[in-house]
Amino acid sequence: MAEKFKTIALIGKYQSPDIGAPLGALARFLTERGIQVLLARQTAERVGTLGLPSENLPELAARVDLAIVMGGDGTMLNIARTLVEHNVPLLGINQGRLGFLTDVSIDTMDETIGRVLDGDYITEERILLRSSVWRAGEKVFDGCSFNDVVVGKGTIGRLIEVIIYIDGDFVYSQRLDGIVVATPTGSTAYALSAGGPILHPSVEAVALVPICPHTLSARPIVLNSHASIEVLVTHADDARVHFDGQRHFDLIQGDRVRVGRAERTIRLLHPVDHSYYAMLRQKLHWGEKL
């Protein structure tokens, strides 16, 4: 039986002052449906309270049945990582550009969300990555990623040298611009630009995609999602590891970046007529006449 939502959090893109009007309209729509609506405090600081009670995200997550995120994929990535421990389902309204994760149109949000409130929706589980950086045998940094973990060159722009291990087995050593470890969600992001495969969200896998390798034989590898991946930086004048392109940590020679599947998953809600392949056709402009 579809879950009924009595309390819903509204979260808007923090840097967008234009988000206030559509958020206010959505809040009125939900209130008229008898829903208790709470606003993320970080959003309220930008657009005002809209007449709604506001709380910080952790407190908000403990009270709501659903979080509706209005913005772009970057906003959804940030909110997903923040709320993953609370197991709150997320629904995204696209106010960005591509919108692979925020797939509800802002122009039809009342109709679409009305159907979701009536129970007409599907739930999708998405995996995340948990990563750590080890230096001289000690963990010096860790992070969670929804899209990808990227070990790459920094501002100097010189190739880095790495050794890749999977489940403790040596795979290869390589000189390259970087290496992407991508979830199925992230397979349509940086990994796609680097020539990686598109992974359907239901596939229990991650993609290991080299960026501009200094060889013609390096190819992407698709791994079981429970594989343990280690990237050893053997030479780098300037290197960094990026988490979803939103957090980073500077690396030095000898650092080891270890990547594995996170224990928890993200629950995304979609309209019942949602089609992943139709979304790909639209976002990637497949089938258009040149």
Say if residue 43 is in the same domain as residue 16: yes
Pairwise CA distance, residues 7 & 101, whole Å: 22
Give the Å distances, CA to CA, from 219 to 49, 197, 212, 285.
50, 10, 10, 25
Task: Note if the pTM is more than 0.85.
Answer: yes
How much is the average pLDDT of 200-214? 96
The total number of structural domains in the chain stands at 2
Q: What would the pLDDT profile of 97-120 be if each residue is shown by its tens digit?
A: 667 888 898 889 999 999 999 999
Residues 217 and 180 in one domain: yes
**142 part of a folded domain:** yes
Averaged pLDDT of the chain: 93
Task: Give the pLDDT mean for 232-250.
Answer: 96
pLDDT at site 289: 65
The answer as to whether 246 is a domain residue is yes
Respond yes or no: is residue 167 known to be catalytic: no
Residue 1 domain flag? no
- Per the domain annotation, does 290 fall within a domain? no
Sign for the CA dihedral angle at 63, 109, 200, 13 comes to negative
In this model, does residue 290 exceed pLDDT 60? no
- Asked whether 151 and 129 are in contact (CB, 8 A), the reply is no
Residue among 149, 103, 98 at smallest CA distance from 127 = 149
Residue 197 has pLDDT above 90, yes or no: yes
The answer to whether 143 touches 131, Cβ cutoff 8 Å, is: yes
pLDDT at 96: 65
Do both 254 and 132 map to the same domain? yes
Per-residue pLDDT at 245? 93
Best CA proximity match to 211, nearest among 254, 252, 182: 182
- On whether both 144 and 248 belong to a single domain, the answer is yes
Question: For 59-85, what is each residue's pLDDT tens digit?
Answer: 999 999 999 999 989 999 999 999 999
The number of angstroms, rounded, from the C-alpha of 193 to the middle of its chain's C-alpha atoms is 16
Residues 257, 168: one domain?
yes
Q: How far apart are CA 269 and CA 91, in angstroms?
A: 5
Interstrand relation of 7-12 and 229-235 (parallel, antiparallel or unpaired): unpaired
Name the β-bridge partners of 248: 242
* Helices 109-117, 20-32: crossing angle, 10 deg rounding: 40
**Same domain, yes or no: 21 and 103:** yes
Strand 221-224, strand 138-145: pairing: unpaired
pLDDT of residue 98: 67
Q: Are 251 and 190 in contact (CB under 8 A)?
A: no
pLDDT digits (tens, 9 = 90+) for 24-53: 999 999 999 999 999 999 999 888 888 899
**Same domain, yes or no: 140 and 249:** yes
Q: What range defines the domain where residue 68 resides? A: 7-120+272-284
Residue 155: the pLDDT is 85
Both 164 and 54 in one domain: the answer is no
Catalytic residue among 18, 65, 73, 177: 73
Are residues 159 and 136 part of one domain?
A: yes
| CATH, residue 143 | 2.60.200.30
List C-alpha distances in Å: 70 to 52, 55, 67, 188, 279.
Answer: 16, 17, 10, 20, 18
For residue 2, is it within any domain? no
Residue 20 lies in a domain: yes
How high is the pLDDT of residue 205? 98
Of 7-11, 12-16, 44-48, 176-180, where does mean pLDDT reach its minimum?
12-16
pLDDT band at 16 (very low <50, low <70, confident <90, very high): confident
What does DSSP say about strands 7-12 and 66-71: parallel, antiparallel, or unpaired?
parallel
**What integer pLDDT is reported at residue 160 of this predicted model?**
97
Average pLDDT over residues 1-8: 80
Indicate whether 194 and 90 sit together in one domain. Answer: no
Q: Where are the alpha helices (DSSP H) in the chain?
A: 20-32, 41-47, 57-61, 73-83, 109-117, 190-193, 276-284
